[in-house]
Chains A and B, each alone.
Chain A
C-alpha cells in the first residue's frame, strides 16, 4: 500500500471526504474517525482478510472500505509519480490533469478528463481497488465515485 507523504494526506483526506459524500448517502460513517483510523494503519487494509473459524459467517463489506485506499493510491500516483502495472496505463497527461483536478478546490480552472481518459482512469482505479480486496462491483463503485468527484470539479 503506497503511503502518501506528509503533504499528500491533506489531498487524500479531501478526496476521500468527497467520495464518501457521493457513496455514503445516509451519512452513516463518521468520516473524520474513519480517516484517522486509516492514517494510523494504512497497511491494515492490504493485509489478508481475517476470517476466524468461530466468526459469524457474515462478512461485513462495503465499497466505502476501499475509498481511502484508492484515494491514497491516486494521490501517490499523481503527486509522486508512482510506477506499476496498473499505473503505467495512465499517461503523464492524464496524471497531470488529475493532479490539477485534485487541486481545483483552490480556485484554478482545471481541464476535465476527456471520455477516453476517464475510461483509462476508471480502469486503473478499479484495478487498484480489486488489488486491495474489493470485489468487482465494489471496485467499480469506488472508481466511478472517484471519477464523478473529479468530473464535478476535483476534491473540493
Chain B
C-alpha cells in the first residue's frame, strides 16, 4: 500500500491555516494590551479631547444629531487614531518578540543538542536523494546531535536548513533510518520549519506583553499620590482581564498543540509519498507509551500517538476532515479577530466616511476561508465531490463557537454588561450568519470538487476557493453586523426595517451585489465545467426559468388598484420582485434537492434576480432618463443585495438538511411548475401588501 498524494503546502494546508489562525490571534491580543496601556497612560488626554469635541458639537449643531455625530467623529479622529496606533504598538511588540524568538529559540535548541558533528558522506547523500525526491531544492545539512539527542529534528530553511539526527539512528535498520530522514525533509517540503518557530516565539512573547498592562497600572499606582499599586490592581477590571487572558492563553496552547500534531502528520504524508506505508508501520509500530500516558500527558503531547500517525498514513482523509475541536477553535478565534479588527478599524477610521464593519468582517471572513473553507474543500475534493456526513453538524458548532468568541474575547474586558459589539442580538445573528456561510461554502466545495480528484489541486483552485469562501464568510459577517446596527435604530418595526436596510436598501448594496455576482459567476463556471448528469443542469435552469417568467409576467400583468403608482414605488417594487424571483428559485432548489440544492442556488438564484430585473427594466425602457444606470445601480444592485440576505438566511437551516431527489426526472420536471406557482404567489402578495416594505 502506498500513501495517497497530498500536495497542499504552506498556509493553505490544514497546518498552515492553523498557523495563520494562531499568529493573527496572538498578535491581536497584543493590540488589546496596547489599548489598555493607552487608556492608562493617555486616557486623561483622550477623554479631555472627546469631551471638548462633544461640547463643541453640541454648540455648533444643537438641532441635528446626525451633523453633531459627524462633527464629533471628525473632531475626535486624531485622538482615536492615536489610540489605534498605540494599540498597534502592542501588536508590533508581540510580533517583534515573536521574531526574536524565531531567532533565539532554534539557536538555543542547537546549543543544547550540541556539540554537533558532521555525518559521514553516505548519510548526506541519503538526505540529498530524499530532498530531490520530495522536490526540496536545497537539501538540508545532516549533523549528529550529542548523546542526549534521542529524536531527530529539523531547523532553518533553504540553504541554511539542518537536520539534527540522534546518533542512535545508526543502530536502526537502514530503511527505518531513511524513514526518519524522510520525515524531517518532509517538514522542509511542507514549508513549516519557520512558521513553527514563529508560532512558538509568539506564544512565549504573549505573556510578557499581557503582563505589561497590569505592570503599568501598578507603576501608576505607585507614582500617583492618591492611590497605590494594590488599590489600582484590586479593581475588578484586572480580575476580568486576567481571566480572559488566561482563556486566550489556554486556547492558544490548544491551537499550538493542534499545530504541532498536524505538522507531524503532514511531514509523515510528505515523507511517505510514493513509498510503502509498511515501512512506517515497522518504524511506528514498536513500543509506544501512549497506552500508559494519562489524559493530561496526551493533551500536552506535541506529537500524535504512533497509532494515530499510522491511522493517518493509512487513510490521509482522516487528517483532512475538520474535527470538532478544529471547528470550535476556528469559530472562537474568528469572532475574536472580527471584534478586534472592528475595534481597531473603528479607531483608525474615525472621522472618515468609512465603516469599520467591512474591515472586521472581511478580515475574519478571510481567516475563516483559510481556516475552515479550505479544509472543507480539501476534504470534499478528496471524497470526489461529496461532503462528509458529519460536516453539516459542524456548521452549528462553528456558529456557536463564533458566538462564544464574542463573549470570551479579551477586548470585552470591562464592557461585559454592554454586551458584544453592536449589542446582544449579535449573539444570535452572528452564529446564524456563520452557519449560513459555512453551508454555502460546503455547497460551493461540492460544485468545485466533483470533476477533479485530490491529486489535481492547483493555484487557481486554491485562489478560487479562498476568494469565494472569504466573500461568503466576510459577506455574512458584514450582514450580521449591519443588521444588528440597524436593529438599534428606533424603527416602528425594527426587524423588518433592519432586514430591508441590510438588504435591498443597504447603503453598501453595490459592494454586496458585486460580491454575490462574483460568487455566482464562479459557482456557475464550476457547475458548467463538471461532467455531471444532464438533469443536474436542467434543475437549476428550469427552477430559474419558472421563477423569472412567473415573477415578471405577474408584476407586469397584475395591477391591484391599492398599489401606489409613483416612480419611487415602481422601482422599489421592481427591485423586490426581482428579489422574489431569486428567493423563490433558491427555495425551490432546496425543496427539490435538500442541502444539495444550495450549490445550484448560488448561481441560479442571482441569475433569476438579474433576469427578472432585466425584463422589468426592458418593459419600462423608455420611461427612464438614464436607463442603463438604472438597470445597474438600482434594479440589479438592489435585488442582488437583498438576495444576499435571503440566501444566507436560507442556507443556515438548509445546510442541516440531507440531500435528496438526485436524478429524479419528476423532481426536475416539477421544479419549473413549483417555482412558477411560488413566484406568482410571492409577487401577488407583494403587490397587495408591499406598501409596508417600501422605503418612503
Contacts and interface: CB of A to CB of B under 8 A. Distances in A.
Nearest to A53: B302
Contact of A57 (B113, B146, B170, B304): B304
Given A52-B113, A53-B302, A59 B170 contact: no
Contacts of A30: 170
Interface string B119-160: 000000000000000000000000001111111111100000
Interface string B273-315: 0000000000110010000000000000011101001000000
A37 interface: yes
A117 B173 CA distance: 36
B151 A60 contact: yes
Contacts of A45: 147
Contact of A56 (B109, B145, B171, B183): B183
Indicate the member of A48, A52, A58, A62 with the most B CB atoms within 10 Å.
Answer: A58
A44 B150 CA distance: 12
B387 to A, nearest CB: 31
A51 B289 CA distance: 15
Contacts of A29: 170-171
Nearest to B155: A54
B152 A55 contact: yes
A65 B155 CA distance: 25
Dominant secondary structure of chain A at its interface with chain B: loop
A65 to B, nearest CB: 5
Nearest to B177: A60
Interface residues of B, number: 39
Contacts of B402: none
Interface in A52-103: 52-62, 64-65
B172 interface: yes
B669 interface: no
A50 B168 contact: no
B635 to A, nearest CB: 58
Interface string B245-284: 0000000000000001000100100000000000000011
Contacts of A56: 151-153, 180, 183-184, 264, 267
B188 to A, nearest CB: 12
Nearest to B113: A50
B433 to A, nearest CB: 37
A132 B113 CA distance: 18
A56 B163 CA distance: 11
B56 interface: no
Nearest to B145: A50
A58 B200 CA distance: 21
Contact of A58 (B146, B196, B283): B283
13 contacts: A28-B171, A29-B171, A34-B170, A41-B147, A49-B150, A50-B151, A54-B154, A55-B303, A56-B183, A56-B267, A58-B180, A58-B283, A58-B284
